[in-house]
Copies of this chain bind each other. A is one copy, B any other.
Amino acid sequence: MEQKKAEVIVVGGGFAGLNVVKGLKSAPVLVTLVDKHNYHLFQPLLYQVATAVLSPDNIAAPIRKVLRGQKNATVGLAEMVGVDLNRKVVIGQRGEKKYDYLVLATGVEGSYFGHDEFKPFAPGLKSLDDAVEIRRRILLAFEEAEFEADEASRRGKLTFVVVGGGPTGVELAGAIVETATQTLPSEFRHVDTRTARVILVEGGDSLLKAMPQGMGKRAQRDLEAMGVEMRLGSYVTSVDADGVMVGDERVPAENVLWAAGVRGTPIAKTLGVELDHIGRVKVAPDLSVPGHPEVFVVGDAAHAVDAVTGQPVPGVAQGAIQMGRFVADIIRREVEGADPKDRPTFNYYDKGSMATISRGRAVASIKGRTLGGFLGWLAWGLIHLMFLVGFRTKAMVMFEWVWNYLAHERGARIITGDPRTKIKEIRGAKMYDRR
């Protein structure tokens, strides 16, 4: 009789989780991937959904489809809420399931640094639903401004404050300026969309702090040339429906986007092990939970330190992919008989960093060299296309990019959701007063 196969449960179908499952393709295990969504999200392009270049479907691949050829893999749609390390079970909302190996790949969520009351006025960009909500707000802002008779109110509607100078903040700021200056001007009759203000607020003294220094300077120069106003060394201390406080300065702005911080997900706390100050699990050099060699944490959910350099592994797609493959290797070797005492330690291989600024312009750092402008953008585009899951998605995204590049057009400019909500949100604009 065949020996019972080891049960591997992977929670989370992002880059890290998906690469754990794929890495176990030929291993004698039963692997279950559970995610609260039915799709793998290509997060690096999420800002392009938020700014109406791509459709949600362009960057979301159904997990079942990605794994349909892998016979030892089962996919489940559910949200996991806890782990019991002693009983070796992971707990969902309607039951629990035993594991032999558990891999947590639950990522991070947006953090308002203790000010969750900002959230309704300053949506973050972590999920596809977030992106659609931001797209709705950006597009509605121009619709509202078109029929707003009051000058001050119109200024507020056309002011966008992006909080956070990391890649997401940089990319959002650039894309909003592009929308206002290139895509929309010819479509409005009363308002000049090019007068929109975009303000980028960053607490540190430069942009893209996690990337090599030249990149932040280059991004800042490019964004300033496009008209983005910089507030470096500044913090947002309050947000409401009509504006924000940036330090001591009141900025009237009806559109605030939050790209400023992350924190671990609630399930990490249920492990009962040491977390870092933002709630990520401090993992051992083999990415396992200290004292529990059968439990791993990978991707953004992990606070991992490179065993050679002593540097923290950055929260980027490459880190997640490499951690996922690394853990899959460990599990595969051990179910095939390797001694758990001989585990390797994780080293991060830095392939480079990049952030896009606008159509035809990006900054990239590859092996110590900083690329900017069109060359940076080409490198950025090619590498992102390479990592997109599935041929169909690649082709669609390439088509949208070429279209965007040649026609200055954004392909996905629809406002979805209940129309009554929209009407309600067109606060105070006097719609029929202008002519």
Interface residues of A (CB under 8 A from B): 30, 36-39, 55-58, 60, 62, 64-65, 67-69, 74-79, 92-97, 128-129, 132, 139-140, 143, 146-147, 184, 186-190, 392, 395-396, 399, 403, 407, 409, 411-420, 422-423, 426, 429-433, 435
Copies of this chain assembled into the complex? 2
17 CB < 8 A contacts A-B: A36-B419, A37-B415, A37-B419, A38-B139, A38-B143, A38-B413, A55-B56, A64-B184, A68-B186, A74-B190, A78-B431, A79-B423, A92-B432, A93-B423, A129-B416, A392-B411, A395-B399
Chain B residues closer than 8 Å to A146, beta-carbon distance: 76
In the complex, the answer to whether B92 meets A418 with C-beta atoms within 8 Å is no
The answer, among B395, B409, B429, B432, for a CB contact under 8 Å with A392, is B409
The smallest C-beta distance from A183 to any residue of chain B, in angstroms, reads: 9
Chain B residues closer than 8 Å to A419, beta-carbon distance: 36-37, 79
Contact (A417, B76) CB under 8 Å given A55-B55, A433-B95: no
- Please measure, in the bound complex, the distance between the C-alpha atom of A140 and the C-alpha atom of B430, giving whole angstroms: 42
The answer, among B75, B396, B414, B430, for a CB contact under 8 Å with A38, is B414
Contact (A412, B57) CB under 8 Å given A77-B143, A396-B396: yes
- Please measure, in the bound complex, the distance between the C-alpha atom of A78 and the C-alpha atom of B96, giving whole angstroms: 48
The answer, among B58, B76, B395, B420, for a CB contact under 8 Å with A431, is B76
- Please measure, in the bound complex, the distance between the C-alpha atom of A422 and the C-alpha atom of B418, giving whole angstroms: 18
- Please measure, in the bound complex, the distance between the C-alpha atom of A69 and the C-alpha atom of B189, giving whole angstroms: 11
Chain B residues closer than 8 Å to A57, beta-carbon distance: 55, 57, 411-412, 414
In the complex, the answer to whether B187 meets A77 with C-beta atoms within 8 Å is no
Chain B residues closer than 8 Å to A433, beta-carbon distance: 95
